[in-house]
Chains A and B, each alone.
Chain A
Amino acid sequence: MITERDLEAAQEVFHRLASSIEQVIVGHTEIVRAALIALLCKGNLILEGVPGLGKTLLVRTLAASLGLHFSRIQFTPDLMPADIVGTDLITEESGHREFSFSRGPVFANIVLADEINRATPKTQSALLEAMEERTVTVGSNTYTLEEPYIVLATQNPIEMEGTYPLPEAQIDRFLLKANVRFPSLDELISIIVRNTEGTGIRLPEPAATAEDILTARAVVREIPIAEGLREYIARLVLATHPESEHAPARIREYVEYGASPRAALALTMGSKANAFLAGEVNVRREDIRDLFHGALAHRLVLNFKGEAEGIPVDELLDSIWEHVPTHS
């Protein structure tokens, strides 16, 4: 049972956490918020941006702020699944040989899957179970991952040669997708100053514990969302399907597959987390709007025409947002 004290404590922790991250990361407020939302919603986050924008630094800062076990996996084409999840090794002790499981980097609280699209689909798929079920199965043994657990992946939208786009099944397991934009002039100057003067960047001290995160997750789940807004979310997700009656014309024209029910869950939970981070006590329509693109953009599969014409997914989402009525 969540108490008033839990609510206040959780809000205080995440306020402190956000401030701690902002001391290191210049700008990227939306990205930080998206990471916190993914953490609160027991989800995963994929960050997309060109190299050098601070994606990895963001994840490292988040991990440091949380004081949790952090591991980083640099995805390369020759990376094997066992390199991620671990493998059974023959060990010899006192002349007695036995298999012992050597845990891979996936066994952590915060996993950074850097340039995840450079690994083969087979290796990418090694993360599926960990991301969704929070378990890892090796041979006949299944290992449960420690909570809080979150996978933060990055991918480079350029240099696509030699990359393997994430399969729909895997990308659907990311709660949100955040596009890391290039910093503005002031932000860039701040980045220069912070990295070239003084002691340089120093990762923050832990501002929260695992228990704080779990409590905050429980608080977020208690945040009420009105029935009308739930239906609104459902209509929005249905509108991404070209065969749906709610779909606008552009969706029918350019979209091959719409978002899965996970998108509705992501949008609902993300809206709750967004309301929590905003200090609100219930989900508002603004919360849904803030999460709409992040929760749905990576779940839409364009058809050939859409791909050929280079239709931006965000434009399609905008058309959905304008088309779907707020009231039934």
Chain B
Amino acid sequence: MPFDFSRLLQSIAQRARWLHGLSVASIVLAAASIAALAAMIVVRALHIPVPFWTPITLVFLPALLGFAAYLFGRSAQPRLPDLLLLVDDRLGLKARFSSLYELRQRGGTSIFYCRIEDDVRNAVDWQRALPLGRRTILGGSTSACCIAAALSLALLPLPVRIATPSDPIGYASATAPEREFDTARSLEPSAREAAGLPAAQPTIELDRSAGTQIPGTPNTDHSLEDVMRDLSGMPTDESVIAPLSRDEIERLAAKQREARRALGELLDSIQDRLSGAPPGQQPYLTDHEREALQRELDREGLAPEMQQGINELLNPPQSRTVEEIVEQLVDQLADGEESEGSDADGEGPAAPQTTAVAPSTQDIEELLEALGQSSSEEDGTDTIELPAGAGEPGDASQSPDSELSQMDRPGLAGPGEEENSDQTGGTDGVGGMPGLEEQQDPGFIREQEQANVATHGHFVDEFITEGVPIESTSADDSDRLSLQVSYDRMLSILRERGLPDGAIDIVRDYFNAITEGGT
């Protein structure tokens, strides 16, 4: 086979370009992959919420840059004299190769041409002279490791930002099922019922059925991601409130007040008639009154407790008389109006009125009321005010940037909201976590007591982590008591239960947020 020096030169040049491209690409790829890995680590370490496409981008961007660098490096034309001299040196050809190229450039008529060509013909194993450089291999290896590590991190669940309608980018980037899920969550019970909308199933039941562990119960399998998933799966107040404007909320609140006023007038008339009835006559409802009660029952905005009471009035049990039921309804109505009166002092729209308070908790309610007044003056860290089951109404605008702080606010809208608890489970004080008591959740203790804590109004249905001792001690003022909970002790108990630190922080942040900085 004739010796084709031109073809050989072409092959060498191509391999040199290929190697140069790889060399440049390895440098760029290594730098980019290291940067990507660093970014991924930062995202993971700092729990920075990022759009879902960010990990994929961080992994594939170095590859794209590396490919571009390869094309750029390959486009550079190698300098043949230097390249051939390099081949000579590496193959020990005593500069034969480059000398042959030199003679060829002169026309190849020298007497030395044939001699050198004979020497080169069988000696050229030029691919051995142009191997992959160590720098290229090192860069490639580094890149591969970094990309693999970044990919591993990318495959792990990232703190993805919760898509909400108010976040156009994140919401738009969310998949359709995610949006549907969010929408379903946004139609959660307490807020919907408080707003007079059809109730849905409690959110927490979804979490429970999914096997997630309630914080406070020992479960080492409950990872940070699980907690975050639970939290992110809960309806945010933003997602709940967003469909309802402030005007709508005020309008609904007005409807509720109107319903209570109408019901009050009706009950007063019934009471007047019953009181004017001759003695010995069995109390009864006239058809007109029944029709009026039925209308009130169908009226929008009436609390479920009141609806239950009306139903009971329409179909009185044998154990109770119509007069007793009417009297109870009037009392409930009066209690609700008092709560509304206290809420009216706060900011923002009025929340649904609380009327259903267990009579057996009246003394504890008073105790908590006294506690709230004393603790608001002390503002100590060891004396923990029981977590408010309802946040301060009307504070939605105070921390708009805090996602957690905006979660489930309709469900926590005010002290009067526990009237929805029978149907929605909202009595846990967390609007997005109804139904806890009904399922006898071992992770929480329900405190039915109502407290009036400082300016935050009435706090009811508190949840305190099970196992954390609460001590009732005398405050400075001897006639008032305060409930004291050792924060450090509570934290150590939580840690003993194997909860990840991050989960504890998240849960604490969550409750801090929903209680507007309270306990």
Q: A residues engaging B (CB < 8 A)? A: 2-4, 6-7, 222-229, 231, 280-286, 326-328
Cβ-defined contact, A227 with B96, below 8 A: no
Number of B residues with CB within 8 Å of any CB on chain A: 24
Does B306 make an interface contact (CB < 8 A)?
A: no
Cβ contact of B112, chosen from A222, A227, A326, A327, cutoff 8 A: A222
22 contacts between A and B (CB under 8 A): A3-B111, A6-B111, A222-B110, A224-B102, A224-B106, A224-B116, A225-B102, A226-B88, A226-B101, A228-B81, A228-B84, A228-B98, A280-B94, A281-B115, A281-B119, A282-B94, A282-B99, A282-B112, A283-B95, A285-B89, A285-B95, A326-B85
Question: Which residues of B have CB within 8 Å of A2?
Answer: 110-111
Residue among A222, A231, A282, A286 making CB contact with B116, cutoff 8 Å: A282
By a CB distance below 8 angstroms, the chain A residues around B99 are 224-226, 281-283
Interface SS of chain A:
loop
Contact of A229 among B85, B110, B116 (CB under 8 A): B85
Let me know if B89 and A226 touch, CB within 8 A. Answer: no
A224 to B98, alpha carbons, bound, how many Å?
A: 9
Q: Verify if B129 is at the interface (C-beta below 8 Å from A).
A: no
Any chain A CB within 8 A of the CB of B82?
A: yes
> How many angstroms from the CA of A70 to the CA of B98 in the assembled complex?
41
B88: chain A residues at CB < 8 Å are: 226
A226 surroundings in chain B (CB, below 8 A): 81, 84-85, 88, 95, 98-99, 101-102
Chain B: minimal CB distance from A117 (Å): 38
B86, CB-defined interface residue at 8 Å: yes
| Complex Cα spacing A285 to B99, Å | 12
How distant is the Cα of A7 from the Cα of B116 in the complex, in angstroms?
Answer: 14
B359 to chain A, nearest CB (A): 97
B95 pairs with A282, CB closer than 8 A: yes
Rounded to whole Å, the gap between the CB of A4 and the closest CB of chain B is 5
What's the minimum C-beta distance from B181 to chain A, rounded to whole angstroms? 63
Query: Cβ of B103 < 8 Å from any Cβ of A?
Result: yes
B94 — which chain A residues lie within 8 A by C-beta? Answer: 280, 282, 284, 286
Cα separation A6 to B112 with both chains bound (whole Å): 12
Is chain B's binding surface mostly helix, strand, loop or mixed?
helix
Which of chain A's residues has its CB closest to B119's CB?
A281
B81 is contacted by which of A7, A223, A227, A326 (Cβ under 8 Å)? A227
Q: Which residues of B contact A282 (CB under 8 A)?
A: 94-96, 99, 112, 116
CA distance A227 to B81 in the complex (A): 6
Q: Collect the chain B residues with CB atoms within 8 Å of residue A283's CB.
A: 95, 99
Given A326-B89, A327-B82; A229-B112 close (CB under 8 Å): no
Q: In whole Å, how far is A10's beta carbon from the nearest beta carbon of chain B?
A: 11
Given contacts A280-B94, A282-B99, A284-B94, contact A228 B112 (CB under 8 A): no
B77 CB to closest chain A CB (Å) equals 15
Tell which of A3, A281, A286 has the most Cβ of chain B within 10 Å.
A281
Smallest distance from the beta carbon of A172 to chain B beta carbons, Å?
A: 28
Q: Which of B1-36 contact A (CB under 8 A)?
A: none
Shortest distance between the CB of B42 and any CB in chain A (Å): 41
B82 touches A229 (CB 8 A): no
Central interface residue in A225, A227, A286, by most chain B CB within 10 Å: A227
Q: Taking A224-B103, A224-B116, A327-B82 as given, write out 17 further A-B residue pairs in contact, using a Cβ cutoff of 8 Å, ordered by the A residue number.
A: A223-B112, A224-B102, A224-B110, A224-B112, A226-B81, A226-B88, A226-B98, A226-B101, A228-B95, A229-B95, A281-B99, A281-B115, A281-B119, A284-B95, A285-B89, A327-B85, A328-B82
The CA of A280 and the CA of B119, in the complex, are separated in Å by 11
Residues of A contacting B111 in the complex (Cβ-Cβ under 8 angstroms) = 2-4, 6-7, 222
Kindly list chain A residues whose C-beta atoms are within 8 Å of the C-beta of B89.
285, 326-327
CB-CB < 8 A to A222: which residues of B?
110-112
Residues of chain B contacted by A326 (CB below 8 angstroms): 85, 89
| Docked complex Cα distance between A222 and B119 (Å) | 18
Q: Decide: B81 and A231 in contact? CB cutoff 8 A.
A: yes
Complex Cα gap A182–B11 (Å): 53
Give chain B nearest CB distance to A27 CB in angstroms.
Answer: 28
- Complex Cα distance, B110 from A2, in Å, reads 8
CA distance A328 to B84 in the complex (A): 12
Cβ-closest chain A residue relative to B109: A1
Closest-CB distance, A162 to chain B (whole angstroms): 47
- The docked-state distance in angstroms from the alpha carbon of A228 to that of B106 is 15
Bound Cα distance A283, B106 (Å): 16
A17 to B111 CA separation, bound complex (whole angstroms): 23
Task: Give Cα A228 to B84, complex, Å.
Answer: 8
Expressed in whole angstroms, the minimum distance between the Cβ of A270 and any Cβ of chain B is: 16
- Residues of B489-519 at the interface with A, using a CB-CB cut-off of 8 Å, are none
* Identity of the chain B residue whose Cβ is nearest the Cβ of A223 in the assembled complex: B112
Task: Give min CB distance, B121 to chain A, whole Å.
Answer: 14
- Output the least CB separation between A70 and chain B (Å): 32
Min distance, Cβ B186 to any Cβ of chain A, angstroms? 69
Q: Determine how close the nearest CB of chain A comes to the CB of B498; give it in whole angstroms.
A: 63
Min C-beta distance of B122 to chain A, whole Å: 16
The residue in chain A whose Cβ has the minimal distance to the Cβ of B104 is A224
